[in-house]
Structure 1
Amino acid sequence: MSNLPAAVLTQLLGVRLENASLEQLLGRYVAIAQDGLPGMDEVSITLIRNERPFTAAHTGELALAADELQYGYGYGPCLDAGQSGEVLTIPDMTRETRWPEYASKVAAQGVLSAVSVPLPLQTDLIGALNWYGRSTGVPEAELGAGVELASHVAVAVGNAVTYSDSAKFAADMRAAMASRAVIEQAKGVIMAQNRCGPDQAFEILRTASMGRNVKLRDLARQMVLKLHD
């Protein structure tokens, strides 16, 4: 018996794995997952290959920023869930003690709760399906739905890695990694210009992207291109 709400299950059953790129599929899954856990606001998918994490899909810039902050620290719920295989929840970021520095930083950016569910992948990849909330509290009773959604994501990723879409998968992942590399370069520029640390540089970049209504990765790319003009 499914743990998912009927409306979410109906959407999942409507997803067709054939004739769709992995990017399209994962984008579809994170959009569906927004309705999978009540009270949570944004969703992302973290994948880790060769110890290099990247966000393969996200519903909004808040989720991307929450992921990227963890990548900078090298720890956090989405990374630890993928590596440990355990479902990790943070009901209140302001009281979190396992990742206190990350929690305080991301809470200041508006993320007050999080759920990370490991992806049951049978490949050299590991990863997690992540939910972020703007208010405290996580839906503990509905976490079974999150686990079920993660299994659907894992099937899509596993098929892409194993079968005919492997070349497209590799291209998508290279693009995702390149996007993260651009963000790191932009942070370096900001650090040099403002004589600040990586955390403050990322916050400056994120604030600028929101103020200009430009995606974080697009703004970072513009900064790097301008530097080389």
Structure 2
Amino acid sequence: MTSDGQDHQQGLGGRGDRGEASAQDTGGYRGEDVLATKLTRVARQLQESGSPAETLEGIVRGAVDLIPGADEGSISLVMGRRRVTSEAATGRLTQVIDDLQQQTGQGPCVDAAYHQETVRVPDMAVEQRWPLFAPRAAAAGARGMLSLQLFVTGDDLGALNLYSYKANAFDDESEHVGLMFASHAAIAYASIRRQTQLAEAVSSRLLIGQAQGMLMLRYDLDEGQSFALLVRASQTTNVKLREIARQVVDTRQLPTAVAPPEPG
């Protein structure tokens, strides 16, 4: 076997690992231990991701490698419980199916995200739950699907979608492994989101402080007055405070729509 082949088997989840473990560990505690070890390795790799987008890509790769029956995958993000976007799609089929769910407003990932369910579709060609979606999805080539709710944060939701080219590819084992994988993936994604939000908050605070300093020097203001001026500029222009601060730092002046403070 080439080094490329070895690397592929040792990646997230590793199909080669799964096949070897299945031959040696037919059920029982040892098989569960092998699965737990793989899930722990995947979770560790996900937590080392550098951004939420990179984490989502790692989640999908790991799921396709590890969950029996999966040929392709993607993640559906529902922002504000309205706008649905498809992230980290592995191929054209996933993008087509996600677009169909967006167009019809129905399908496995919609149910999984909104209702916090695990949704399994044995054979899309005979599926009755989504009359607008299922026939078109089957025609596109998605015969089986497994959707798992990943997270609910306020009005933001996420679901992991797995696709099979064959009917009846997803079984009880797929769902069992998928649920455990989704738990690890959700923790990793929540962690990287918190880290990213914290970094953005620190960056915003520094940027706003820099803009305040410029305004204090230019208009002879104190700290409170300079911050109030930035807030007024944000409200007047309907632009976020961080962006107003960036404009001040970049241009060294207030937006033209905002009157400067009176001298003295």
TM range (shorter): 0.5 to 0.7
Structure 2: state its 5+ residue gaps. Answer: 1-28, 201-264
CA contact (8 A) 1:47 1:54 kept: yes
Give the aligned residue type for 1:24: E
User: TM-score, normalized by length of structure 1?
Assistant: 0.65
Correspondence for 1:39 among 66, 69, 73: 69
> Residue by residue, what CA displacement relative to the aligned partner does 1:66-124 show, whole Å, maximum 9, x if unpaired?
11110111111101111011111110111100012211101111110101011133443
Match of 2:156 in 1: 125
The equivalences for 1:102-121 within 5 A come to 102-121=133-152
- Closer, same or farther: CA 4–152 of 1 in aligned 2, 3 Å: farther
CA contact (8 A) 2:64 2:71 kept: yes
CA contact (8 A) 1:58 1:64 kept: yes
> Residue by residue, what CA displacement relative to the aligned partner does 1:160-212 show, whole Å, maximum 9, x if unpaired?
443334677xxxxxxxxxxxxxxxxxxxxxxxxxxxxxxxxxxxxxxxxxxxx
The alignment covers a number of residue pairs equal to: 168
Q: Distance in 2 between matches of 1:123 and 1:56?
A: 19
Q: Distance in 2 between matches of 1:58 and 1:166?
A: 27
Q: Percent identity?
A: 34
- Closer, same or farther: CA 75–154 of 1 in aligned 2, 3 Å: same
Q: Distance in 2 between matches of 1:40 and 1:122?
A: 27
> Residue by residue, what CA displacement relative to the aligned partner does 1:36-95 show, whole Å, maximum 9, x if unpaired?
221221111111111111112222221121111101111111011110111111101111
- Closer, same or farther: CA 5–35 of 1 in aligned 2, 3 Å: farther
Structure 1: state its 5+ residue gaps. Answer: 169-229
- Closer, same or farther: CA 114–53 of 1 in aligned 2, 3 Å: same
Match of 1:153 in 2: 185
The CA RMSD measured in Å over matched residues stands at: 2.4
Larger radius of gyration: 2
CA contact (8 A) 1:34 1:40 kept: yes
CA contact (8 A) 1:121 1:158 kept: no
- Closer, same or farther: CA 59–31 of 1 in aligned 2, 3 Å: same
Give the aligned residue type for 1:158: A
Give the aligned residue type for 1:44: S
CA contact (8 A) 2:43 2:185 kept: no
Q: Distance in 2 between matches of 1:130 and 1:4?
A: 24
Correspondence for 1:87 among 106, 111, 118: 118
- Closer, same or farther: CA 166–44 of 1 in aligned 2, 3 Å: farther
Give the aligned residue type for 1:141: E
Q: Tell me, what secondary structure is at the counterpart of 1:55?
A: strand
2:109 matches 1:78: yes
Correspondence for 2:127 among 89, 96, 110: 96
Q: Distance in 1 between matches of 2:49 and 2:69?
A: 33
Q: Distance in 1 between matches of 2:33 and 2:148?
A: 15
The CA deviation at 1:146 is: 0.7
Match of 1:139 in 2: 171
